[in-house]
């Protein structure tokens, strides 16, 4: 366990979270990013508030148990939004890697100690875990979107028609998407 | 630097220089008489033309934005101001809109729920807008004292209220507070500064601002600033100034000597504002009265609104529809107007 | 990299780093997949006799416009400035105060600054200044003016089909500037040069020829309703008998065809049929359907005022032909804006109809005395209020319901209390979403104004995020599992939206809830709801969840 480093991080947690959030919303155009940062109402600004919440959860896990479910719960809202905002996978996930940079800069002095540096490697592996999970979730969401695109018509109209017996049994003809 | 406000700033500064230079080379008649007459004329003609232009356009549909429960069943309370169903309720809605900027306040209220510091500052959009418009109105009314002799009593009362706060500094050399400080002028200046700062500091507002948002703001700042300057710092000869303005309204223009240059600058900027007004967004002054989403009754199912150009259109009639589907309809047991045989005969007759 | 730790100032600079700030006019248009709908099918455009029918693709450089397209748009613009005071005033008076900037669900969800309502309007306003104002001509860009180039036109098309005409922004504007009005106007201009989307053009053409958006022919329409008859009999033991185009009936009933052909709207349609059957058995009310006027919705509204009028005309024409007393309208969103604010003006006066009176309660619907069309939730609320329905809300006990106000009945009509009154009388558990997401401040489903196609799924899902987010909130806080609405587009779009954001929540029409609670005379024991789900099981499931919670 990287206890010394973790307690350092916990001390500066607020700073780290705020920096991480800022770099996360840089995926958006300038004016939008400022809106995401400044509007705190979770209903007027779901993107900003989901992102903030997700980042808090991930921070908990980074210095905590790395529980798979919790990591997923932190990443899901962020990636779910990004998957429909036409952000490329790279642009959508880059914020995870930004955390490494933020920590490195914040603890530049401390990381010069060999032991600390070792602990940092450990921590980087955790961040990589986030990134891998992030990719998975992003892809899962993209697939979901494509499913919805492909099946919406079938699920609604085709099913109703079929129930009504207006579609010949056993036909494979699906409505044109 | 942002090109938009630089452009506007340069424009106002050039105007300032023009007036200053003009007066220095003795063009007092031009700046004190000709340009004011011209500006008032341009304002009046432009304003009337713009409003007439709007009025000439049709209001084909009654499209109020309904912001509350409609008047429907008698046991359901309805929202008189946000979903007005009578003329008087519309008057109420418009009055609140125009006198208190109610829609903007709705915006503020939403933001206040958000509770962040940034948007707590944003509630000043409503406060700032109110302050700006009421201060402007007060200043405007106060200025009628330059065009009336004797000064009307309501204006005197207004002045007394406006100068309620007397800040008097009576050191030799600095005689601030003599004459009385008008609150409205200072509030106006402060509000203009706030509205300008918003356009710089709030990114979304900066993004949408264009030069013609900056120009009137800076122009009004110039006017208010030169006014304040005249009153409290570089005193101008008030009596001479009034002689000039009275000359203008009585159509016996005179240009008395010894009115300071600041007066002419002030007057010139006012003239520019007047001439610019009808061609700018400042026309929201009149436009808000004509906004079809606010000034119409929402009882659109109870009274028929008339569209003056209700163009006739092509319809696909029931008869055409039945002609196309008659067989299928009959087969499905749907009623038809012309039975199958009859229509077949009719067709045969035609042939 | 510098060795020494950065100073706070340096760090701040780094944080504040943003992509270079570019003026919106300089930002090039980027047509993104998933955000736009396919171009209109030339066949549909031709059927309607609208201009420039030809195949084209938004991703191609060449949009195959008529040679004099600039002139067509300019003249169309000019003509409409005379026709619509709204547009003329809205072009002139915006002060760009920014009150509307963050009110648009598409801006909130997509993060694209050109989706700020003020900017959407500026897309047109900039051309207006250039073409129709002296100062704009004189000062050009310095005055926010720009000529209409092909890129500008493309930008219009892209962003005017990213507006669902929901009017949320107009609520907050100090001058009541209504982006819906700007979008309606802009789309009308685009149609002049043949720029429409297929999801609008084809339903419009279908509706014009066949009576409904889906192009369902009369016999198929009846087939579907016949199927519902069987379905209802299976679930309640009662055989209902809907009537078609019955001359001399009391009431003509018109509802969006989506409810007849797609789940879960079908259950709402069954709900109407059960209600009418109940009223006929108990009180002798005579309601008829029509296959000619089988569409309540009006995608013509998303094309042009003329097209809207052509489609809407069928309602009065059919009511007149059948000689009914008045018209009852089903649950639909934009349909009700058209009926409430346009129909009487366009196709009235309906002097051949009576002022609507509910013959069962004696209530005279004074507020509909000229248009002569009543909303089904007004009608049902009146019945419930007067104790005319035999209801057993226990059959909805497993539901925790919240209500989505549809944009058009909210901000183009003011229908808030009636549906809530009905829901509260047929369901025990009802929870409101947060105040800034309902009633007049309601968020769009993200698919309104003809944007509920499949290919623009990303736009729909991101635009619907503010709505879904509020649903998620009540789902997590109260365990809400059912989202009720009075709009057919909602019923088509919200299930998909929920599926993506809050899969635990299902979608229903208000009259599905009514029908599940309604005791029909002579019914068998009701063991399932209309969806065929076992009520005991649902109840046990719901209790289990509550216990856990």
- State the SS3 of C241-298: CCEECCCCCCEEEECCCHHHHCCCHHHHHHHHHHHHHHHHHHHCCCEEECCCCCCCCC
> What is the rounded distance in angstroms from the CA atom of residue C537 to the CA atom of residue C549?
18
C349-381 pLDDT, tens per residue? Answer: 999 999 999 999 999 999 999 999 999 999 999
* Ranges under pLDDT 70 in chain A: 1-2, 156-157, 159-160, 162-177
- Alpha helix positions (H), C412-507: 417-426, 457-463, 465-478, 488-501
Q: Are C332 and C296 in contact (CB under 8 A)?
A: yes
Report which of A154, A143, A172, A86 is spatially closest to residue C454, judged by C-alpha positions: A154
Q: What is the pLDDT of residue B171?
A: 60
Residues in chain C, how many? 549
Q: Which residues in B lie closer than 8 A to residue C82 (C-beta atoms)?
A: 56-58
Structure tokens that stand for B29 in this block: 């008649």
Structure tokens that stand for C434 in this block: 């947060």
- Which residue among A31, A39, A41 places its CB closest to the CB of B207? A31
Residue with tokens 């996930």: A93
Q: What is the pLDDT of residue B317?
A: 94
Q: How far is CA C151 from CA C112, C123, C360, C387, in A?
A: 18, 11, 59, 61
Q: Are C283 and C388 in contact (CB under 8 A)?
A: yes
Q: What is the pLDDT of residue A163?
A: 67
A144 touches chain C (CB under 8 A): yes
HSE, CB side, 13 Å, CA atoms: give it for residue B124.
16
- Which residue among A47, A86, A153 places its CB closest to the CB of C108? A47
Query: How far does C346 lie from chain A, in Å, by closest CA?
Result: 32
Cβ of B116 and A39 within 8 Å? yes
Cβ of B113 and A39 within 8 Å? no
Q: What is the DSSP letter of C534?
A: B
C18-53 pLDDT, tens per residue? Answer: 334 678 888 888 898 899 999 999 999 999 999 999
CA angle (C320 as vertex; C314, C321 as ends), nearest 5: 85
CB C533: neighbour CB atoms within 10 A? 12
Q: Which of A67-76, B3-12, C203-212 has maximum average pLDDT?
A: A67-76
Q: What is the pLDDT of residue C253?
A: 97
φ, ψ for residue C124 (rounded to 5)? -85, -40
CB C494: neighbour CB atoms within 10 A? 28
Rg of chain B on CA atoms, in Å: 30
Q: Which residues in B lie closer than 8 A to residue A38 (C-beta atoms)?
A: 116, 118-119
Q: Across residues B94-116, what is the average pLDDT?
A: 73
Q: Across residues C131-136, what is the average pLDDT?
A: 89
- SS3 of C308, please? helix
- SS3 of C496, please? helix
B114 touches chain A (CB under 8 A): yes
Mean pLDDT lowest for which of B41-45, B106-110, C160-164?
B106-110
Report which of C166, C172, C162 is spatially closest to residue C123, judged by C-alpha positions: C162
Q: What is the pLDDT of residue B47?
A: 96
Q: Across residues B159-165, what is the average pLDDT?
A: 76
Q: What is the pLDDT of residue B170?
A: 56
Long-range contacts of C528-532 (CB under 8 A, 24+ apart): C528/C235, C529/C235, C529/C395, C530/C231, C530/C232, C530/C235, C530/C267, C530/C270, C530/C271, C531/C264, C531/C267, C532/C235
Q: Across residues B65-76, what is the average pLDDT?
A: 95
Query: Which sign does the torsion angle of CA B245, B250, B253, B254 carry?
Result: negative
Q: What share of chain A is helix, strand, coil (3-state, %, to 5)?
A: 75, 0, 25
Q: What is the pLDDT of residue C494?
A: 96
The CA-based dihedral angle spanning residues C393, C398, C404, C405, taken in that order and rounded to the nearest 10 degrees: 10
Greatest CA span in chain C, whole angstroms?
91
Residue with tokens 């509260």: C424
Cβ of B115 and A44 within 8 Å? no
Asked if residue C455 has pLDDT above 50, the reply is yes
B205-247 pLDDT, tens per residue? Answer: 888 888 889 999 999 999 999 998 888 887 788 888 888 999 9
> What is the rounded distance in angstroms from the CA atom of residue B259 to the CA atom of residue B236?
6
Domains, chain B: 3-290 (1.20.950.20), 318-350 (no CATH)
HSE, CB side, 13 Å, CA atoms: give it for residue C521.
11
> What is the rounded distance in angstroms from the CA atom of residue B327 to the CA atom of residue B323?
9
Helix (H) or strand (E) holding C507, with range, is strand C506-509
Q: Are C190 and C156 in contact (CB under 8 A)?
A: yes
Q: What is the DSSP string of C120-135?
A: HHHHHHHHHHHHH-HH
Mean pLDDT lowest for which of A22-26, C8-12, C278-282, C439-443?
C8-12
Q: How confident is the model at residue C513 (pLDDT cuts 50, 70, 90)?
A: very high
Q: Convert chain B into a string of H (helix), E (strand) and C (coil).
A: CCHHHHHHHHHHHHHHHHHHHHHHCCCHHHHHHHHHHHHHHHHHHHHHHHHHHHHHCCCCCCCCCCCCCCCCCCCCCCCCCCCCCCHHHHHHHHHHHHHHCHHHHHHHHHHHHHCCHHHHHHCHHHHHHHHHHHHHHHHHHHHHHHCCCCCCHHHHHHHHHHCCCCCCCCCCCCCCCCCCCCHHHHHHHHHHHHHHHHHHHCHHHHHHCCHHHHHHHHHHHHHHHHHHHHHHCCCCCHHHHHHHHHHHHCCCCCCCCCCCHHHHHHHHHHHHHHHHHHHCHHHHHHHHHHCCCCCCCCCCCCCCCCCCCCCCCCCCCHHHHHHHHHHHHHHCCCCCCCCHHHHHHHHHHHC
Helix (H) or strand (E) holding C172, with range, is helix C168-172
CA B52, distance to chain mean position in Å, is: 16
B300-348 pLDDT, tens per residue? Answer: 999 999 999 999 998 999 999 999 999 999 999 999 999 887 666 665 5
CB C520: neighbour CB atoms within 10 A? 20
- SS3 of C222, please? helix
Asked if residue C280 has pLDDT above 60, the reply is yes
Q: Which residues in A lie closer than 8 A to residue B111 (C-beta atoms)?
A: 41
Percent of chain C with pLDDT over 90: 83
Asked if residue B193 has pLDDT above 90, the reply is yes
Percent of chain C with pLDDT over 70: 95
With 0-12 / 13-18 / 19 or more C-beta atoms within 10 angstroms meaning exposed / middle / buried, residue C544 is exposed
Q: How far is CA C456 from CA A152, A156, C63, C158, C167, in A?
A: 12, 17, 19, 12, 21
Q: Across residues C261-276, what is the average pLDDT?
A: 94
CB C155: neighbour CB atoms within 10 A? 19
Average pLDDT, chain B: 86
Q: How confident is the model at residue B117 (pLDDT cuts 50, 70, 90)?
A: very low
Mutation site for C-interface testing, chosen from B42, B62, B66, B89 by largest number of C Cβ within 10 Å: B66
Q: Are C384 and C425 in contact (CB under 8 A)?
A: yes
Q: Which residues in B lie closer than 8 A to residue C435 (C-beta atoms)?
A: 113
Cβ of B328 and C219 within 8 Å? yes
Q: Which of the pair, B251 or B161, is modelled with greater confidence?
A: B251
Query: Which sign does the torsion angle of CA C217, C218, C219, C221 carry?
Result: positive
CB A69: neighbour CB atoms within 10 A? 8
Q: Across residues C199-209, what is the average pLDDT?
A: 92
Q: What is the DSSP letter of C374?
A: E
- SS3 of C210, please? helix
A163 touches chain C (CB under 8 A): yes
- SS3 of A174, please? coil
> What is the rounded distance in angstroms from the CA atom of residue C252 to the CA atom of residue C271?
16
Q: Which of the pair, A48 or C423, is modelled with greater confidence?
A: C423
Cβ of B119 and A39 within 8 Å? yes
Q: Across residues C74-97, what is the average pLDDT?
A: 95
CA C329, distance to chain mean position in Å, is: 15
φ, ψ for residue C288 (rounded to 5)? -125, 150
Q: What is the pLDDT of residue C16?
A: 32
Asked if residue C15 has pLDDT above 50, the reply is no
Asked if residue B119 has pLDDT above 60, the reply is no
Q: Across residues C418-427, what is the average pLDDT?
A: 97
Residues 6+ apart with CB under 8 A from A65: none
Q: How confident is the model at residue C309 (pLDDT cuts 50, 70, 90)?
A: very high
Structure tokens that stand for A176 in this block: 């044109």
Q: How confident is the model at residue B2 (pLDDT cuts 50, 70, 90)?
A: low
> What is the rounded distance in angstroms from the CA atom of residue C508 to the CA atom of residue C421?
16
B126-154 pLDDT, tens per residue? Answer: 889 999 999 999 999 989 888 888 888 88
Q: What is the pLDDT of residue B347?
A: 59
Mutation site for B-interface testing, chosen from C18, C24, C83, C85 by largest number of B Cβ within 10 Å: C85
> What is the rounded distance in angstroms from the CA atom of residue C100 to the CA atom of residue C263?
35
> What is the rounded distance in angstroms from the CA atom of residue C234 to the CA atom of residue B269?
81
Q: Which residues in A lie closer than 8 A to residue B110 (C-beta atoms)?
A: 41, 44
Q: Are C326 and C356 in contact (CB under 8 A)?
A: yes
């Amino acid at each position: 366990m990287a206890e010394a480093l973790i307690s350092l991080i916990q001390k500066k947690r607020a700073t780290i979270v705020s920096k991480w959030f800022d770099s996360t919303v840089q995926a958006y155009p300038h004016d939008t990013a400022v809106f995401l940062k400044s509007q705190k109402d979770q209903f007027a600004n779901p993107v900003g508030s989901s992102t903030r919440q997700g980042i808090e959860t991930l921070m908990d896990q980074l210095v905590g148990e790395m529980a798979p479910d919790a990591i997923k719960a932190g990443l899901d809202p962020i990636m779910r939004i990004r998957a429909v905002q036409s952000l490329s996978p790279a642009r959508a996930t880059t914020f995870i890697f930004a955390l490494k940079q933020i920590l490195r800069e914040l603890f530049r002095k401390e990381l010069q100690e060999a032991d600390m540096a070792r602990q940092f490697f450990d921590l980087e592996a955790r961040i990589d875990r986030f990134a891998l999970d992030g990719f998975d979730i992003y892809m899962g969401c993209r697939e979901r979107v494509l499913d919805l695109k492909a099946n919406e018509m079938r699920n609604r109209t085709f099913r109703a028609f079929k129930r009504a017996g207006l579609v010949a049994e056993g036909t494979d003809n699906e409505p044109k998407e | 630097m942002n090109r938009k406000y630089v452009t506007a700033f340069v424009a106002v500064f050039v105007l300032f220089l023009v007036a200053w230079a003009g007066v220095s080379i003795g063009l007092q008649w031009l700046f004190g008489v000709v340009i004011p007459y011209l500006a008032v004329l341009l304002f009046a003609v432009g304003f009337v033309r713009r409003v007439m232009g709007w009025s000439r356009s049709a209001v084909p549909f009654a499209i109020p934005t309904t912001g509350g429960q409609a008047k429907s069943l008698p046991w359901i309370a309805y929202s008189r101001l946000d979903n007005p169903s009578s003329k008087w309720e519309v008057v109420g809605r418009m009055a609140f809109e125009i006198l208190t900027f109610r829609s903007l306040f709705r915006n503020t209220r939403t933001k206040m729920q958000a509770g962040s510091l940034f948007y707590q500052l944003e509630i000043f959009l409503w406060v700032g807008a109110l302050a700006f418009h009421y201060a402007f109105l007060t200043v405007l009314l106060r200025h009628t004292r330059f065009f009336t002799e004797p000064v009307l009593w309501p204006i005197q009362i207004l002045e007394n209220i406006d100068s309620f706060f007397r800040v008097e500094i009576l050191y030799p050399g600095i005689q601030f507070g003599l004459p009385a400080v008008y609150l409205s002028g200072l509030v106006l200046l402060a509000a203009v500064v706030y509205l300008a700062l918003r356009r710089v500091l709030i990114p979304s507002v900066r993004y949408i601002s264009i030069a013609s948002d900056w120009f009137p703001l800076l122009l009004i700042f110039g006017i208010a600033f030169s006014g304040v300057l005249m009153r409290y710092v570089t005193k101008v000869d008030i009596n001479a100034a009034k002689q000039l303005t009275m000359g203008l309204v009585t159509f016996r223009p005179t240009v008395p000597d010894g009115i300071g240059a600041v007066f002419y600058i002030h007057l010139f900027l006012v003239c520019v504002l007047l001439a610019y007004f009808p061609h700018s967004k400042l026309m929201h002054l009149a436009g808000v009265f004509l906004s079809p989403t606010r000034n119409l009754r929402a009882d659109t199912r109870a009274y028929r609104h008339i569209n003056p150009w209700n163009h006739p259109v092509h319809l696909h009639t029931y008869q055409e529809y039945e002609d196309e589907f008659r067989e299928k309809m009959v087969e499905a047991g749907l009623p038809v107007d012309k039975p199958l045989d009859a229509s077949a005969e009719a067709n045969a007759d035609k042939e | 990299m510098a060795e020494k730790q950065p100073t706070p100032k340096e760090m701040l600079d780094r944080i504040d780093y943003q992509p270079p700030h570019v003026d919106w006019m300089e930002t090039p248009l980027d047509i993104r997949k998933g955000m736009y709908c396919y171009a209109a099918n030339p066949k549909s455009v031709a059927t309607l006799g609208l201009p420039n029918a030809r195949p084209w693709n938004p991703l191609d450089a060449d949009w195959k416009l008529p040679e004099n397209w600039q002139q067509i748009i300019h003249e169309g613009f000019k003509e409409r400035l005379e026709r619509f005071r709204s547009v003329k005033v809205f072009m002139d008076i915006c002060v760009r105060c920014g009150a509307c900037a963050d009110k648009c669900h598409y801006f909130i969800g997509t993060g694209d600054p050109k989706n700020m309502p003020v900017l959407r309007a500026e897309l047109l306003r900039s051309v207006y200044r250039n073409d129709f104002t002296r100062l704009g001509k004189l000062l050009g860009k310095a005055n926010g003016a720009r000529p209409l180039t092909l890129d500008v036109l493309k930008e219009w098309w892209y962003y005017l089909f990213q507006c669902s005409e929901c009017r949320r922004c107009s609520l907050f504007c100090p001058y009541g500037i209504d982006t819906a009005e700007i979008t309606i106007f802009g789309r009308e201009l685009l149609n002049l040069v043949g720029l429409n989307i297929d999801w609008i053009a084809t339903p419009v053409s279908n509706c014009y020829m066949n009576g409904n958006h889906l192009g369902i022919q009369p016999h198929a329409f009846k087939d579907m309703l016949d199927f519902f008859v069987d379905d209802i009999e299976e679930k309640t033991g009662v055989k209902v008998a809907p009537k078609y185009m019955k001359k001399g009936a009391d009431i003509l009933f018109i509802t969006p065809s989506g409810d007849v052909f797609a789940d879960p709207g079908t259950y709402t349609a069954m709900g109407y049929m059960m209600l009418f059957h109940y009223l006929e058995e108990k009180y002798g009310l005579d309601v008829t359907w029509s296959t000619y006027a089988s569409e309540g919705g009006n995608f013509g509204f998303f094309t042009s005022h003329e097209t809207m009028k052509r489609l809407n005309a069928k309602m009065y024409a059919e009511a007149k032909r059948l000689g009914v007393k008045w018209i009852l309208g089903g649950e639909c969103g934009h349909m009700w804006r058209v009926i409430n604010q346009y129909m009487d003006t366009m196709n009235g006066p309906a002097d051949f109809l009576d002022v609507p009176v509910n013959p069962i309660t004696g209530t005279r619907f004074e507020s509909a005395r000229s248009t002569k069309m009543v909303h089904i939730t007004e009608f049902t609320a009146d019945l419930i209020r007067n104790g005319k329905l035999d209801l057993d809300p226990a059959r909805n006990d497993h539901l925790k319901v919240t209500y989505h106000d549809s944009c058009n009945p909210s901000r183009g009509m003011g229908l808030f209390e009636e549906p809530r009154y009905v829901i509260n009388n047929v369901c025990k558990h009802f929870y409101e979403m947060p105040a800034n997401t309902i009633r007049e401040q309601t968020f769009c489903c993200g698919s309104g104004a003809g944007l509920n196609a499949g290919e623009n799924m990303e736009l729909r899902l991101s635009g619907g995020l503010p709505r879904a987010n509020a649903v998620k909130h009540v789902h997590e806080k109260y365990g809400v599992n059912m989202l009720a609405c009075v709009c057919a587009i909602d019923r088509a779009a919200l299930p998909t939206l929920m599926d993506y954001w809050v899969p635990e929540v299902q979608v229903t029409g208000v009259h599905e809830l009514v029908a599940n609670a309604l005791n029909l005379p002579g019914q068998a024991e009701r063991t399932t709801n209309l969806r065929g789900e076992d009520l005991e099981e649902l109840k046990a499931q719901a209790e289990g969840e509550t216990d856990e919670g």
